[in-house]
Structure 1
Amino acid sequence: MRIILLRHGQSLGNVDELAYCRIPDHALPLTETGEDQARAAGPTIKNLIGDGQVAAYVSPYQRTRRTFELLGVDAERIVTEPRVREQDWGNLQDPVQQEMLKHQRHAFGHFFFRLPNGESGADVDDRVAAFLDGLTVRMHKDENHPKTVLVVSHGLTIRLLCRRFFDWSIDLFESLSNPDTCENRVLDHDGTGWRLDRPFDQWRDSPDGTVQHPV
């Protein structure tokens, strides 16, 4: 069994933080660079899928749906999955307040800090856990469900998916960097457990001394 995690291509919000003040987060489009990234990622993702069928679970945000479309992957089933969406920062954002919240969040901790009118990392972790529980049951017990899955999602959400898979500590999670836009991670099940193809970049050692799952 294989699960391919892919972050969306570069979006308008990645290059213009003020875009969040005038466009809802879920409606932010890919940039021209992001569209090129998604097209370029297509052959890589197809190679990772191989010759078998694939089920695609795609965040409902415009940038993830467009990324999946540009990959050109012929999926056996395509599911729009809200539980793998981006962390909710509220509605249209005030730039002064958002800058203050980012400083507070960094000092408090990304996992537990709750954004006003939005979510904490812990909230995202909860919905990711519910998604994974259902997915692993389907992959193990539903004979008609493809054994290869593609999840097109967001940076923090992808880190939390892996945190849940490998039972990483919160300290370790907060020490990891998001994958780059249109960067992937691959999880393979070898019959005894899941393995990650390569670690995430770390911007610091985990304060509790834990490390990423061995590859």
Structure 2
Amino acid sequence: MSGRLVLVRHGQSYGNVERRLDTRPPGSELTPLGRDQARAFAGNGVHRPALVAHSVATRAVQTAAEISGRFGLTARALDGIHEVQAGALEDRNDDDAIAEFNAIYQRWHSGEPGVALPGGETAEQVLDRYLPVVTELRMRYLDDDDWTGDIVVVSHGAAIRLAAATLAGVDGSFVLDNHLNNTEAVVLSPITDGRWSCVQWGALTPPFYPEPDADPVGDALRSDTDPMG
């Protein structure tokens, strides 16, 4: 096998600009900057895909179209890899909602994956729909001795970080302290016995050290950017 799984966060959306918890598909569209980000990702020469896929959310569809078009590929939709569902917090951008989302997300990475967002998902539910999609991509393509090239999957920040940490054993405190900007990616390389190695997290490469002072709630409230990375 020769190829990696590139989990890339979509380009900037109007929901991101408004700092909304925009999680329910189809969701908001890309901004002009978001389209530029997608084209820049495709043009950076680092991740030349053999296959491009995306979630069912509009911003992921549009990002994938920009990337796949660069390489003459047809992007394909995959169920199950949409964003963590915020439930009763959906479409809110007030500090209380952002703090609650991030506090529960922190609990997921601190050993409490069964805690649910109000009216929304638990980490276990997110992983139950997300990981089988990754496994199928690996079994069908990356584990094939004749396969060459990366698989680029356009997905969503909170879901990518949760899934990637679970698959590659990345420390939860690192995950909480290292968000993904729009069109940043987590790159996973398949290794023996069905395992994965994380070879890139945004702009960072291994080793991924624990962050003892991670404060995701405070970071989200202090940030003037969107809370969903």
* Partner secondary structure for residue 27 of structure 1: coil
Which ranges in structure 1 are unaligned for 5 or more consecutive residues? 208-215
1:137-191 C-alpha deviation (Å, 9 max, x unpaired): 112555776652111111112212311321335x436534221101123233467
2:176 maps to 1:179 = no
Q: 1:148 to 1:5 in 2, by over 3 A?
A: same
The CA RMSD measured in Å over matched residues stands at 3.5
Q: 1:172 to 1:126 in 2, by over 3 A?
A: farther
Alpha-carbon distance in structure 1 between the residues aligned to 2:187 and 2:91? 36
| Equivalent residue in structure 1 for 2:212, among 201, 205, 208 | 205
Match of 2:218 in 1: none
Equivalent AA in structure 2 for residue 196 of structure 1: V
Match of 1:9 in 2: 11
| Equivalent residue in structure 2 for 1:100, among 82, 96, 102 | 96
Equivalent AA in structure 2 for residue 89 of structure 1: A
Number of residue equivalences: 199
Alpha-carbon distance in structure 2 between the residues aligned to 1:200 and 1:38? 27
Output aligned runs, 1:115-130, within 5 Å. Answer: 115-130=117-132
TM-score, normalized by length of structure 1? Answer: 0.73
Equivalent AA in structure 2 for residue 121 of structure 1: A
Output aligned runs, 1:57-68, within 5 Å. Answer: 57-68=53-64
> What percentage of residue pairs aligned between the two structures are identical?
25
Assess if the C-alpha contact under 8 Å between 1:110 and 1:120 holds in 2.
no
Output aligned runs, 1:50-89, within 5 Å. Answer: 54-71=50-67, 72-74=69-71, 78-89=75-86
Match of 1:156 in 2: 158
TM-score, normalized by length of structure 2? Answer: 0.69
Output aligned runs, 1:19-34, within 5 Å. Answer: 20=22, 26-34=26-34
Equivalent AA in structure 2 for residue 102 of structure 1: I
2:138 maps to 1:136 = yes
| Structure 1 ranges of 4+ moved more than 6 A | 200-203
